[in-house]
Chain A
Amino acid sequence: MTVEKADSTVEEVTKPTPYVPGPNAIDVSPSKDSGVLKEVLREGEGSETPQPGSKVFVHYVGTLTDGTKFDSSRDRGTPFEFNIGKGNVIKAWDIGVATMKKGELAVFSCKSEYAYGENGSPPKIPPNATLIFEIEVLDWQGEDLSQKKDGGILRYQIEAGEGYATPNDGAAVEVHLTGKYQDNVFEDRDVIFPLGEGSEYGVCEGLERALEKFKKGEKSRILLKSKYAFKKDGKPEFNIPSNADIEYVVHLINFEKAKESWSLDTDGKLEQAKFFKEKGTNYFKAGKYTLAAKMYKNIITFMEFESGFEGEKDVQRKSLLLAGHLNLAMCYLKLDEHIEARDNCDKALDLEPTNLKGLFRRGQAYLAMGEPERAKVDFEMVLKLEPSNKAAASHVVMCNNKLREQKGREKMIYANMFEKFAKQDKAERSNLVNGWWDGDKVVTEKDDDLVPKIEKKKKVLNIKRPGTGDSNNKSSENDRNNTNTPQTSESKVGDKAAESIGTLGESSKL
Chain B
Amino acid sequence: MAAPVPEKNSSQFVSLLSQLLSTNNSEKVIEIIQDKENKQIIKDESWEIVRVACEYLTLDTYLKSRSLFNSCETVLEEIARVALPEEALLEFLEQIESPDSDEKFSALLKPLQIVLLQLTKRKEQSLSWCLSTIKTYIKGVPIPENQNLEGNEKLLMDADPNVQRINDLYSRISVFYKPFIENVAREVHGDIPEKEVIEKQRQLLISFLLHILEKPLVYLDLEWNSEGAKSSARVSAEEIVFCLGCIMPDVLMFLDYDGPINESSEEDDAEVSSNLDGSLHYFIREDKVPTMSLSVLYYLIFAEGLLQHLLPIVYDPVFVFRSCLHHASVLLKNPEVMILKKGLLLSQAVIQKLPDKKILSIELEHPSYRQFVDVLTHAMVYCGVEECRKLAGTIFKSFLFKFDTKGRYLLMCNLQKTVNHSGTLGYIITLLKDMIRQEIAQKDLPNFFQGKCLYDLVTGYCRLPNGAESDLVELADEIISALNLLRFLLLHDEKNETCIWDHIKSFEKGYFDPLREGLKLSRAHYKLKLRELSEERQKAPGKRSEVTITVGCQQLPDVPYDQKVFLINSALNAFDLMECLLSHINECIEAKVSH
Contact = CB atoms under 8 A, between A and B. Distances in A.
Given A150-B272, A165-B365, A491-B471, A87 B319 contact: yes
Contact of B314 (A89, A164, A307, A506): A89
B122 to A, nearest CB: 25
Interface string A479-510: 00000000111111111111111011011101
A160 to B, nearest CB: 13
B349 to A, nearest CB: 11
A481 to B, nearest CB: 11
A85 B554 CA distance: 54
Contacts of B281: 149
A125 interface: yes
Contacts of A141: 278
Residue among B262, B280, B552 having the largest count of chain A Cβ atoms under 10 Å: B552
B355 interface: yes
Interface string B552-595: 11111000000000010011001000000000000000000000
A491 B465 contact: yes
Contacts of B315: 88-90
Interface of B: 188-189, 249-250, 253, 255-256, 261-262, 265, 268, 271-272, 275, 278-281, 284, 308, 310-319, 353-355, 358, 361-366, 369-370, 381, 393, 406, 410-411, 413-414, 420-424, 426-427, 430, 451-453, 456, 460, 465-466, 471, 473-474, 476-477, 480-481, 550-556, 567, 570-571, 574
B314 A119 contact: no
B249 A78 contact: yes
A116 interface: yes
B477 to A, nearest CB: 5
Given A81-B250, A260-B370, A501-B570, A507 B474 contact: no
Contact of B406 (A91, A265, A504): A265
Contacts of B452: 308-310
A131 to B, nearest CB: 8
Interface string A420-445: 00000000000000000000000000
Contact of A81 (B262, B279, B310, B421): B279
Contact of B422 (A70, A88, A497, A506): A497
23 contacts: A55-B278, A71-B312, A88-B256, A88-B316, A88-B319, A117-B317, A148-B284, A151-B275, A163-B362, A164-B366, A262-B365, A262-B370, A262-B410, A263-B363, A263-B410, A307-B413, A308-B452, A487-B465, A496-B474, A497-B552, A499-B381, A503-B423, A508-B481
A263 B316 contact: no
B477 A508 contact: yes
A143 to B, nearest CB: 11
A507 B265 contact: no
A491 B426 CA distance: 17
B188 A492 contact: no
Contact of A510 (B250, B265, B308, B427): B427
A199 to B, nearest CB: 15
A123 B308 contact: yes
Contacts of A261: 365
Top 6 A-B pairs, shortest CB-CB distance: A494-B554, A497-B552, A78-B249, A77-B189, A307-B456, A503-B423
Given A77-B188, A149-B272, A150-B272, A500 B406 contact: no
A75 B550 CA distance: 68
A310 B369 CA distance: 27
Nearest to B362: A163
Contacts of B551: 494, 497-498, 501
A262 B476 contact: no
